[in-house]
Structures are given as structure tokens and as C-alpha cells.
Amino acid sequence: MQLIVIRHGQTDHNVGRVLQGQRLDDPLNAVGRREAQALVSVLADEHIAALYSSPLKRARETAEALAGARLLPIVFRPELMERDFGELSGQTWEDVMAVHGGHMQEQNKQLRYDYTSFGGESHEQVRARLRQLLEELAAYHGGDAVAAVTHGGVIRLLHDELKVELPAHVPNASIHRFEL
């Protein structure tokens, strides 16, 4: 199965470097809406059998642009939601580092984060829900190409989980391809 993973378009919180996670449900901004429409053209020649998405607004709006052009239903899966930052949600990385130290952002980059002490998730919890989803998709879709709209943190974990080189940065509206 080919898995085409797409990061949602830009939000105002992305621009402000605000930790959104699951608790902030920011919609796409004007740039993000243009990015979502551009994805329609970029993926126009792809045969996509199914379209999955995180239920969060920023991913949902991006998926809706793709679904509308293809007349595909969107299957919303909570496993595709961004990690939960807990009570750190809504803070900027600068604020978090000022209070908790720079090690938190470094752990985040190394995919060894643990936000459970803030009421959020650990990387192991996010990884477990992604593994479950990957198993289901592979079993259900066989050799098809499937698209999934999700978030930067999820995409980074997918790269790590599937042993594909981890990008230093996952831009908004970027496309990542995996073979399962």
C-alpha cells in the first residue's frame, strides 16, 4: 500500500509558533486555504482510493479541498490527531523554553517527548495509536494508494516508525510518501 501523508495548510498559530496539539482547533488562515487548493493540483494525477483525516479543523479543511475535487468521502480518524501538549497548549515554544528549559524542544525534535506531566501525551502513546491505524489501513487497502491529512508531529513520528529519513522540518501542505 502506498500512503500519501499530507500536512495541513498554515494556521495563524503555526505562524506564531504556538503549540496547538489537540486542544486548539485553529482553522486555516488565508495562506493555508491557498495551500490546500494548491494540493488539489499537485495531487491531481494521483489515483487515491481513500482519504483519511484528523478531525481537527486545520486538517479537516485541507482534506475537504482534496475530497471536493475528487468526490471522495473523508474518513475522520482520531489516531491522526496531533499529539496532546496538555496545559502547554496555547503557549509558544519561546515561553515553554523560558519556563521549562530548552531540553523540552530538543526532546520534541528527537521524538522523545513526554507531555503526560502536563496532562498531554508521550511519544509512545502517539506512536501506539499510529501503529494501530497503520495496521488497519494496510489490512483494509492492500495495494491501493491512500491519502491521510494530519499534523507535523504525526508526520515526524511516521517517518521514524517507518524507518524513512526524518526531515528537519515538516512544512505546511507538504506531501510525504510511504510504502507499507
Give the residues across from 74 on adjacent strands. 51
Mean pLDDT calculated for residue range 77-96: 97
Q: Do the Cβ atoms of 70 and 49 come closer than 8 Å? A: no
d(CA 147, CA 42): 13
Q: Is 13 annotated as a binding residue?
A: yes
Residue 70 marked ligand-binding = no
Q: Work out the average pLDDT over 148-170.
A: 94
Exactly one of 8, 123, 151, 176 is catalytic; which is it? 8
Give me 177's grid cell: 510518501
Is 112 annotated in a binding site? The answer is: no
Q: Which run of H or E residues covers position 111? A: none
- 91 known ligand binder: no
- Is 151 considered catalytic here? no
Taking only the tens place, the pLDDT of each residue in 105-133 is 889 888 999 999 999 999 999 999 999 99
Number of domains in the chain: 1
Q: What pLDDT, on the 0 to 100 scale, is given for residue 101?
A: 84
CATH number of the CATH domain containing 69? 3.40.50.1240
11 is in an annotated binding site: yes
| pLDDT at site 17 | 93
> Per-residue pLDDT tens for 21-75?
999 999 999 999 999 999 999 999 999 999 999 999 999 999 999 999 888 999 9
* Single-letter amino acid, residue 73: P
Domain encompassing residue 105: 2-179
Q: Is 159 annotated as a binding residue?
A: no
- Please give the Cα distance from 153 to 107 (Å, whole number): 12
18, pLDDT greater than 90: yes
pTM for this model (two decimals): 0.96
Active site residue 121: no
Angle between helices 57-70 and 30-42 (to 10 degrees): 40
**Confidence tier at 104 by pLDDT (50, 70, 90):** confident
Catalytic entry in 61, 79, 82, 121: 82
Which pLDDT score, from 0 to 100, does residue 109 have?
85
